[in-house]
Structure formats: C-alpha cells, structure tokens
Chains A and B, each alone.
Chain A
Amino acid sequence: MSDFTFTIDEIEIPAKEGQTIMEAADAAGVYIPRLCDHEGLRHQGGCRVCTVKAAGRSVSACTQPAEPGLAVENETPHINKLRRDLVEMLFHEGNHLCPICEASGNCELQAMAYRLDMTEPTRFPYLEPCRPVDASHPDIALDTNRCISCGRCIRASQDVDQKGVFGYVGRGIHRHVAANGPDLAHTDAEITDFAISDEVCPVGCIIRKRVGFVTPIGEREFDKGLIGRKISEKRNA
C-alpha cells in the first residue's frame, strides 16, 4: 500500500513515507540513471548521475525523500545533458580504455555513456592517473585507475560482508578507494565476498582472476540492451 503519490515526467508514482525518489521510481518501473547507488546498499549520493529536478530544484534522486505531490523531471534534454557531462568527467578522471578492458559490455559506466548518447568526441582533457595495480591477492586484482569512486565495494564489504576490506583515502581529486592494509593480500578479502561479486563494482576496477572473458564480448549484459531496461520492463509488463 502506498502512502501518497507524486509524479516523474508526469507519470504518477506511488510512494511510502521515508522512500527516496529513486526507491519509489524503481518500484514503479521508472528508471532514473545512477552509478553509485545499488539496490541493498546504503545511499552515497556521490556520482550525481541520478540528478533530477524536484519542484524546480536539482537534487540527487537516490537520497532525496519523495514527497506528496512532488513534480519530478527526469529524462529531459537538460538533465540528460548534465548526466552526460558527469559521465564524461568520470571517463576523463580515470583510464577507461574500453577495447582492452575486461569489463567491457558489463561496465555500467560504458553502458551509461551509450544510454546517454555519448557518441561525439568528448571535450575534456584526460587526467591520466597512474596508480599501481594491486595484484597481490591470489584471486582478486584491484586497478584503481578505473575506479569511479562509487564506493559500492566499501559499503558492500562493511554492511553486507561485515568486513571493511575497502575505504576511501585522500581528498579532492586524489581521493580514491584503497584496501585495508598495505595491499589486498593483507586483508581478509575473499573471492566469495559480496563486495567482490560481479554486481558490486560497476567498472573494471575490482577484477576476479581466472574468469576474465568467460562470457565473450557480444553476449554480455549491456550487449543485450540498455542499462536500466530491467527496471523499465517492470512498468511495461
């Protein structure tokens, strides 16, 4: 039972007290683009890709509470342009070389670029980070040059695995994900952790060794269709 309704792009959305705009939208089968938010994890509100206009103000849909009668704009040309800028920024902040990345086709950043029609050459300079790859762990490798600071691994490890394998260090442009110790081999990370599972890291930063390319390019999640389709299909069904 819903407590009240509000609208997203004029579609009526039922919501419960305490739900965020995104939670209510997901339940109603309306997809709001996102990168740092993930079902079952605490909200971070950091990537800003879920920016929507609510009552004329730009807010992050993953953290903003739904309110009765709120009029939310989601897929407008203006908002999608902001989102495209943000996705471009993430591409330029890290080293995202899709043709040689194991995550290609399963990568949410790449898929979001397709969804947002990021087809023209980008305007920004590349920042080209140069952090060492951590391949110390027998089953897991970590390449933070591809990290988009979604923090999903941090929250998954803390809240689901009850471990705390990952955390943020540094500030500003130097802020990045790091392992709890000198390297991953010195943590209690295991390949069976939820934080290491293929659904948590949206890009190719956390890499599971020896299973690369098991699913060939062309048959991967976003080779089959747009990111977000599973949520929108709920509504169409």
Chain B
Amino acid sequence: MTAGETAGAPASGYQDQVAQICDSYDNDPHRMLDILRDVQDRFRWIARETMQTVAEKTGLTQIAVEGVASFYAFLSLAPKGRITIRLCDDIVDQFAGLPEVTESFEKALGIGIGETTSDGGFSLEYTPCIGMCDQAPAAMINDVIVTNLTPEKTRALVAALKSGKRPEDLISPDFDDLTPHQRAVTMVENNIRHAGAVLLGPAAPDAGLKNALDLTPSRIIKELEDSGLRGCGGAGFPTGRKWRFAAETEAERRFVICNADEGEPGTFKDRVLLTERPHLLIEGMTIAARAVGAREGLLYLRGEYIYLRDLLEEVLADRRARGLLGDGIMGVDGFDFDIRLQLGAGAYICGEEGALISSCEGLPGEPKTRPPFPVTRGYLGFPTVVNNVETLCHAARILDRGSKWFFDMGTEGSHGTKLFSVSGDCLNPGIYELPYGLSLKELLEMAGGEDAAAVLVGGPSGAMIARDTFDRKLTFDDLATGGAITVFSKDRNVLEIVEYYMSFFVHESCGYCTPCRVGNVLLQKAVAKFREGLANPEDIAYLKDLSGTIIETSRCGLGMTSPNPILSTLENFPLVYSAMAKPSKDRIRDTFDIQSAIDGARKLAKRRSYVFDRDFSQ
C-alpha cells in the first residue's frame, strides 16, 4: 500500500518517493510547480513533511515551498480523496442547473462542497470557470471532464465511480484504446458554429513555417507588423512590435511562451484551437522562435485543460520526429527550437503574463514588477515573447497567406478574424470565427441570442452591455474583447451576476497588492448589501469611489479591471441599483440592521443583548 492510498499522514518511505519526484526534475527549483503537482497526484496532498523533503532536495526553504503549495487551488495542504470532483461554479453553470447538480452530488456522496468522504474516496469542491460554458454545467473528475450535467447523469456517474470504475471509464468503455484526440472530443464538444477564413477553415500544414524559412527574422516581423495583427489574449498589443522588442534585446537566451491559461470566465476558444489546430499553434510558436531568435519555448496549459495534455505531447513528439522541432528544423542548420509543456494548477492570475512567467519559474503565480517588461527581462530574466494561443495561430496563417490577405479582413485598426466564445442564454452556444467589425447584435442573431437583456463582452474584466447598445461593434476601438460573449436573458438577476463575478475576483486576486487584495473584498461586501436590500443611495457613490481607487492603484491588470462588473452595470443598468437602495427617512435608517451590527460584539461577549435581541428566550 503506498502512502497515496491512505488519506492521512504520509506513510513511511514517502521520503524516497518524494526524492524520486524531485530527481525526475533534476531537483530544479524552477520546476517546483511540476514537482508539487506530482507530489499532489501521488499522495493526494502536500504534507508538511513532504514539503521539508522537497525543500531539502531543491535547496529552498520550507516556507518557499509552502508559498507555492498554498497558492494554487489544485494543490492541497490537507488530504484529498482518491477522486476529486471539481464542479465549475461559474454563473453560466449556476443558471444552467448547477444547484440541482450540486445537490445530487452531495446526496450521492454524503458530503458537502469542500468536504472529503471519511473513507478518503471522494472530495467535492467548486472551482471557477473551467472553459466549458458552452456545455454547462460541467465538472472535472480528476483529470477527466464531464459536461452537460443533470441530476440523473450525476447519480449514474457517482454510482459507476463507487463501483470501482475509473473516471476515464465514464467517458468510454474503450477509453484506453482511443487516440488522445478521440479522448478529447469524446469528453468535450468543440461546438464550432462558424468557421472563418483564417483559423478554422482549411489550411496547408506548415506552409507558413516554410515561407518563414525563406525570410530573414526581421522580414518575418515586418510581415506581422504589416498584417495589423494584435494580441488576442485581451490586451490587444501589436504582435509584430512585441516580437521586434524581444528580437532587438541583446541576450544569450530568448524564450517564446504560449499563453494557454484561458482563465477569463466565458472564454473557451483556445480550448478548441488546442484540440483542433495544435499543429498550427506549434507552427506559430516555431515561427516566433525563428523571428526573435529563441531556442526554447514553453506552452503554459491551464490545469483545467489537463485532459489535453496527451494530445499536445503527442503533437510535440510527432513534430520532433518529423524534424519540425528540435535541432536543425526543416533541415536549416542552426535553427534549433523545442517546447516544454508547463501545466498550471488552478489560478486565473497565471494568465497575466508576468504571473505566467513566475509560475513557469516554479514560483507562486504573482505578477512581476513592470518595467522591465517580459520582452526585455522575462522567463529566468531573459527576453521572452508571451502570446495567446489564437495570436500564434494567426501568425502562422499570416506567414502562409501574406500580410495583405489578413490586413484586408476586418476594419480599420482591427484586422483579420477573431474567435468569439458565445455562451449563456442563447440557442447555439459555441465558437464563431468572424471578421472584426460585426455588431454585437449580428453575432447574437447568429447564436440565437437576440432576446438577450444583457451581454457580458470580454468576461468579467470586460463590460456588461444593455439592449439599447447592442449595435456596438466588436472591434478593439469599440467593444474590445478577448472573445467571451456571455448572454443573459431578462430572467436573470443582474446583481446576482455582479456579486458572483466579484467573488470570482476575490478568489483569484493574488494578494500581492493592497487595493486588489482588500478592495475587492470590500466591493463584494458592498454589492451583497444591495442584494440583501441593506444599501443606501450613498452606497452607489461609495461603489464608484472605491472602484476608482482599486483601478488606479492596482499593480496588474486584474485589479485594474476587477471593478468593471460593477462600473459597467452601474452605467448600463442603473435602475437595478437604485431600486434596491433605500433612502433614510426622518433620521431613521431603514437599512440599518441592529442585529447584524451587534453580532460581533455579542459573540465576543459570549452573551446576548437584553435590549436588542428580539426573543431573548431563544
């Protein structure tokens, strides 16, 4: 019996197993996230004793190891069950029946959310958006994804697991015989609703890479600059300019990192590209490497997408075997480039490029001080290009078809096509590849969401839009978005949506800086006051004021955008707030709740109030 089979203190002999894990990563502290992921998999938690061994092997202090272990949601400092069920608790899942599904899991397992069964068999927990909003409610069962959950389906799943089936067996009885791609598409639907000319239509394999080899690095970058391509991860930075900065920085090593963290709630386009266009993505990374002079690359895959790991490893191996990765790519002497897959472990902030680099370095996923920017000092201090999955796929296509072809699509300032992830209250949730410049209304018509009352464009860090402005255009200059389009019908409660997203940001703030760490908690509490009917009209000004401070003083993009759900709904749905706020009349504050006001003091004093307790006999 290995230590992993008992949920408790690690059994004797654990040191050897932990040491073995560390050895398999050359005891390299920069591989801490991989080491701790493996320890978690083996023992189902990271005990203090195991941290001590990891610290000794990697030459770090125990507190440094604990800092990493306690940062990531998928690493645990308490024993977890053999099977961990993580229900996606995104608001889209909640509206698609998550409460009933949760109840059914809880009943079938006999535990609540956040608990582990006493036999160490199962843990049940909530996790934010796992990128399956088009087939919600969805969950991760260990490394397997299950979608379109219902209470009946849930009961059947638990019964099968209890009878000794592996999570993989839930997907297909022949799971082991399927190819990695078959496994992925059996678990998760692609839901490609509209294929455009650039990414999801037909494309000649590695044609872009072949062309790139005939060009100087500077010409490759020029091609991208001329195409007008801008980053698809949300910030929209011109890709060619980013590559040029990295290429022009003197350095011994340079890196290309693909950002496949896709954590913005409501976004799932990268999932589809990783599944259906993995070669195009690696081709794009290889072209980037050629352009900036990088020999090493990393593909940072969010922990939630672990079900795509085998597929991606297979693609990498295949390309190495065909001379498309490794030394002397396509027979070009000195063109050496290879890619390592880095898995995340449940942290939205790791999508921020500095935090992503920290995470790749084996640190807690905290953003880095800027300047310096990654293009001058990135991974391990070397110039690093970080690009989104979609951006890199576009780059490969641009090198194939030319900058003019791409530039001519879309609109002024927003060239080419964009993948939109549409989910929520619409008939056809899924992926739409469209040229920039369509109106939100046109997209909603395609997706069968024209009855929407509110649409969240760009996820919670974007903006909530009301019906009267659905004619706005999906471009960088109007409604900029990393691609998330979340549709809400008139039956949805706007304040419930806002409160959920604020709790998301509270959960995902890294905690490094004061305004985001503390301010978001204060915002969440203030929104809760509105929902409970305990807000005053002054609280509207309070929300705006506090939001302003958080936006202006936060250290990274998370805090700079986290008040957006509040600010955009205050602007576009003002009645939702004013209807809930109660003005004070004649020196009496309706919203003042004496019971909750004295509750803290009551607990401290360990006695009840004769004056204010309604029923003292209770």
Contacts and interface: CB of A to CB of B under 8 A. Distances in A.
B515 interface: yes
A92 B511 CA distance: 15
A103 B549 CA distance: 28
Contact of B517 (A60, A64, A81, A173): A173
Contact of A172 (B369, B509, B515, B546): B509
Contacts of B78: none
Given A63-B369, A82-B549, A173 B515 contact: no
Contacts of B552: 51, 58, 82
A141 B350 CA distance: 34
A45 B369 contact: yes
Contacts of A217: none
Interface string A111-124: 00000000000011
B514 A86 contact: yes
B555 A60 contact: yes
Contacts of A48: 513-515, 553-555
Contacts of A168: 67, 364, 511
A32 B23 CA distance: 48
B369 A43 contact: yes
Given A45-B555, A180-B61, A86 B67 contact: no
Contact of B506 (A92, A128, A149, A172): A172
Contacts of B525: 125
B184 interface: no
Contact of B510 (A82, A85, A128, A172): A172
B563 to A, nearest CB: 13
> Most B CB atoms within 10 A — which of A89, A166, A168, A172?
A172
Interface in A108-153: 123-125, 127-128, 148-149
A182 interface: yes
Contacts of B508: 172
Contact of A149 (B61, B364, B511): B511
Contacts of A14: none
B70 A171 contact: yes
Contacts of A58: 552-553
> Most A CB atoms within 10 A — which of B61, B347, B371, B508?
B61
26 contacts: A45-B369, A45-B513, A46-B512, A46-B513, A49-B514, A58-B552, A85-B515, A85-B546, A92-B522, A123-B542, A164-B61, A164-B63, A166-B63, A167-B63, A167-B67, A168-B67, A169-B63, A169-B67, A170-B71, A171-B509, A171-B510, A172-B509, A175-B510, A180-B61, A180-B62, A180-B63
Given A125-B525, A167-B63, A168-B511, 16 more contacts: A45-B513, A46-B514, A48-B513, A86-B514, A89-B522, A128-B600, A166-B63, A167-B66, A171-B71, A171-B347, A172-B507, A173-B509, A173-B517, A175-B517, A180-B62, A181-B63
Interface of A: 43, 45-49, 51, 58, 60, 63-65, 81-82, 85-86, 89-90, 92-93, 123-125, 127-128, 148-149, 164, 166-175, 178-182
Interface of B: 48, 61-64, 66-67, 70-71, 347, 364, 369, 371, 506-515, 517-519, 521-522, 525, 542, 546, 549, 552-555, 600
